[in-house]
Homo-oligomer: A and B are copies of this chain.
Amino acid sequence: MSAPQPAPTVRVQAEDFDAAREEALLLEGRRDVGALVAFTGLCRDEDGALAALELEHYPGMAEAEIARVAAEALARWPLLGLTIVHRFGTIKPGERIVLVLAAARSRRDAFAAAEFLMDYLKTRAPFWKKERRADAAPGEWVAAKTEDDAAAERWR
Protein backbone atom coordinates (compact mmCIF):
# COMPACT_ATOMS: atom_id res chain seq x y z
CA MET A 1 0.00 0.00 0.00
CA SER A 2 1.53 3.30 -0.97
CA ALA A 3 1.02 6.32 1.26
CA PRO A 4 -0.89 9.30 -0.10
CA GLN A 5 1.27 12.06 -1.55
CA PRO A 6 2.08 14.72 1.02
CA ALA A 7 0.96 18.30 0.40
CA PRO A 8 4.07 20.34 -0.34
CA THR A 9 4.72 23.57 1.56
CA VAL A 10 5.49 26.40 -0.89
CA ARG A 11 6.17 29.98 0.18
CA VAL A 12 7.46 33.08 -1.61
CA GLN A 13 8.41 35.79 0.85
CA ALA A 14 10.61 38.82 1.51
CA GLU A 15 11.56 37.70 5.03
CA ASP A 16 14.36 35.31 5.88
CA PHE A 17 13.42 31.72 6.72
CA ASP A 18 14.44 29.42 9.56
CA ALA A 19 15.58 26.11 8.06
CA ALA A 20 15.52 24.36 11.46
CA ARG A 21 11.92 25.39 12.05
CA GLU A 22 10.88 24.23 8.57
CA GLU A 23 12.62 20.89 9.18
CA ALA A 24 10.88 20.47 12.53
CA LEU A 25 7.49 21.18 10.94
CA LEU A 26 8.14 18.73 8.14
CA LEU A 27 9.29 15.91 10.46
CA GLU A 28 6.78 16.58 13.25
CA GLY A 29 5.26 13.34 14.55
CA ARG A 30 6.82 11.26 11.77
CA ARG A 31 8.77 8.05 12.27
CA ASP A 32 8.88 6.88 8.67
CA VAL A 33 11.42 9.39 7.35
CA GLY A 34 14.90 7.92 6.89
CA ALA A 35 16.49 10.72 4.88
CA LEU A 36 16.12 14.48 4.88
CA VAL A 37 18.00 16.61 2.35
CA ALA A 38 18.06 20.37 2.91
CA PHE A 39 19.41 22.67 0.25
CA THR A 40 20.07 26.31 1.11
CA GLY A 41 21.03 28.77 -1.63
CA LEU A 42 22.95 31.80 -0.38
CA CYS A 43 24.02 35.14 -1.81
CA ARG A 44 27.78 35.23 -2.56
CA ASP A 45 29.73 38.48 -2.39
CA GLU A 46 31.67 37.68 -5.60
CA ASP A 47 35.02 38.52 -3.99
CA GLY A 48 33.69 41.75 -2.51
CA ALA A 49 32.24 43.14 -5.76
CA LEU A 50 28.62 42.60 -4.75
CA ALA A 51 26.77 44.81 -2.25
CA ALA A 52 23.43 43.02 -2.65
CA LEU A 53 21.12 41.20 -5.02
CA GLU A 54 17.73 42.66 -5.88
CA LEU A 55 15.42 39.73 -6.52
CA GLU A 56 12.42 40.62 -8.66
CA HIS A 57 9.61 38.09 -8.96
CA TYR A 58 6.24 37.64 -10.66
CA PRO A 59 3.75 37.50 -7.78
CA GLY A 60 1.19 34.77 -8.18
CA MET A 61 3.07 33.00 -10.93
CA ALA A 62 6.12 32.41 -8.72
CA GLU A 63 4.06 30.46 -6.16
CA ALA A 64 2.09 28.64 -8.88
CA GLU A 65 5.17 27.64 -10.86
CA ILE A 66 7.02 26.39 -7.78
CA ALA A 67 3.91 24.38 -6.85
CA ARG A 68 3.90 22.83 -10.36
CA VAL A 69 7.56 21.85 -10.01
CA ALA A 70 6.84 20.44 -6.53
CA ALA A 71 3.96 18.35 -7.92
CA GLU A 72 6.30 16.99 -10.58
CA ALA A 73 8.85 15.97 -7.93
CA LEU A 74 6.11 14.26 -5.88
CA ALA A 75 5.00 12.33 -8.95
CA ARG A 76 8.55 11.18 -9.71
CA TRP A 77 9.85 10.19 -6.27
CA PRO A 78 8.14 8.60 -3.25
CA LEU A 79 8.60 11.63 -0.99
CA LEU A 80 7.23 11.89 2.52
CA GLY A 81 7.54 15.67 2.74
CA LEU A 82 8.57 18.65 0.63
CA THR A 83 9.11 22.30 1.54
CA ILE A 84 10.22 25.10 -0.77
CA VAL A 85 10.75 28.69 0.37
CA HIS A 86 12.02 31.34 -2.06
CA ARG A 87 12.76 34.93 -1.05
CA PHE A 88 12.47 38.13 -3.09
CA GLY A 89 13.63 41.70 -2.51
CA THR A 90 17.05 42.86 -1.32
CA ILE A 91 19.38 40.05 -0.26
CA LYS A 92 22.91 40.75 0.96
CA PRO A 93 26.00 38.53 0.72
CA GLY A 94 25.86 35.73 3.25
CA GLU A 95 22.06 35.85 3.41
CA ARG A 96 19.78 33.01 2.36
CA ILE A 97 17.82 33.05 -0.92
CA VAL A 98 16.12 29.68 -1.24
CA LEU A 99 15.39 26.57 0.82
CA VAL A 100 14.41 23.13 -0.47
CA LEU A 101 13.65 20.30 1.96
CA ALA A 102 12.97 16.80 0.67
CA ALA A 103 12.11 13.94 3.04
CA ALA A 104 11.91 10.29 1.99
CA ARG A 105 12.43 6.78 3.30
CA SER A 106 15.71 6.46 1.42
CA ARG A 107 18.50 8.91 0.75
CA ARG A 108 18.61 8.29 -2.98
CA ASP A 109 15.07 9.66 -3.47
CA ALA A 110 15.60 12.64 -1.15
CA PHE A 111 18.83 13.65 -2.91
CA ALA A 112 17.40 13.24 -6.41
CA ALA A 113 14.25 15.20 -5.63
CA ALA A 114 16.14 18.09 -4.00
CA GLU A 115 18.57 18.36 -6.91
CA PHE A 116 15.75 18.13 -9.47
CA LEU A 117 13.84 20.88 -7.67
CA MET A 118 16.81 23.23 -7.66
CA ASP A 119 17.56 22.57 -11.34
CA TYR A 120 13.94 23.25 -12.26
CA LEU A 121 13.50 26.29 -10.02
CA LYS A 122 16.54 27.88 -11.64
CA THR A 123 15.06 27.68 -15.12
CA ARG A 124 11.29 27.83 -14.51
CA ALA A 125 10.50 29.91 -11.43
CA PRO A 126 9.89 33.56 -12.41
CA PHE A 127 12.63 35.30 -10.43
CA TRP A 128 15.29 37.66 -11.75
CA LYS A 129 18.43 38.79 -9.98
CA LYS A 130 19.95 42.24 -10.41
CA GLU A 131 23.35 42.95 -8.93
CA ARG A 132 23.90 45.96 -6.71
CA ARG A 133 27.64 46.59 -6.87
CA ALA A 134 29.82 47.49 -3.92
CA ASP A 135 31.49 50.30 -5.92
CA ALA A 136 28.07 51.88 -6.70
CA ALA A 137 28.61 51.42 -10.47
CA PRO A 138 25.40 50.49 -12.31
CA GLY A 139 24.47 46.90 -11.56
CA GLU A 140 23.64 44.34 -14.21
CA TRP A 141 20.89 41.76 -14.46
CA VAL A 142 22.39 38.35 -13.81
CA ALA A 143 22.52 36.39 -17.08
CA ALA A 144 20.88 32.98 -17.18
CA LYS A 145 23.45 30.21 -17.40
CA THR A 146 23.44 27.74 -20.23
CA GLU A 147 24.60 25.17 -17.70
CA ASP A 148 21.38 25.69 -15.75
CA ASP A 149 19.34 24.82 -18.83
CA ALA A 150 21.53 21.77 -19.37
CA ALA A 151 21.04 20.78 -15.72
CA ALA A 152 17.27 20.98 -16.08
CA GLU A 153 17.39 19.01 -19.35
CA ARG A 154 19.01 16.04 -17.59
CA TRP A 155 15.69 15.17 -15.97
CA ARG A 156 13.63 14.85 -19.17
Would A115 and B111 count as touching, CB distance under 8 A?
yes
Q: If A94-B27, A114-B111, A115-B111 touch, does A44 touch B32 (CB 8 Å cutoff)? A: yes
CA–CA, A34 and B41, complex, Å = 6
Tell which of A35, A40, A45, A118 has the most Cβ of chain B within 10 Å. A40
Is A89 among interface residues, defined by CB-CB distance under 8 A?
Answer: no
Q: Mark A12-27, 1 if CB is under 8 A from B, else 0.
A: 0000001110010001
**Residue A156 at the B interface, CB < 8 A?**
no
- Nearest B residue to A115 via CB reads B111
- Assess whether A45 is in contact with B32, with CB atoms less than 8 Å apart: yes
**Chain A 112-140 per-residue mask, 1 if CB under 8 angstroms from chain B, else 0:** 00110010000000000000000000000
Question: Pick the contact of A34 from B31, B44, B47 — CB < 8 Å?
Answer: B44
**Residues of B close to A31: CB separation below 8 A:** 43-45, 93-94
Q: List which A22-57 residues lie within 8 A (CB) of chain B.
A: 23, 27, 30-45, 47
Please tell me if A11 contacts chain B, counting CB pairs below 8 Å.
no
Q: A35 vs B69: C-alpha distance in the bound complex, in angstroms?
A: 20
Which residues of A come within 8 Å of B, CB atoms? 18-20, 23, 27, 30-45, 47, 93-94, 105, 107-108, 110-111, 114-115, 118, 151
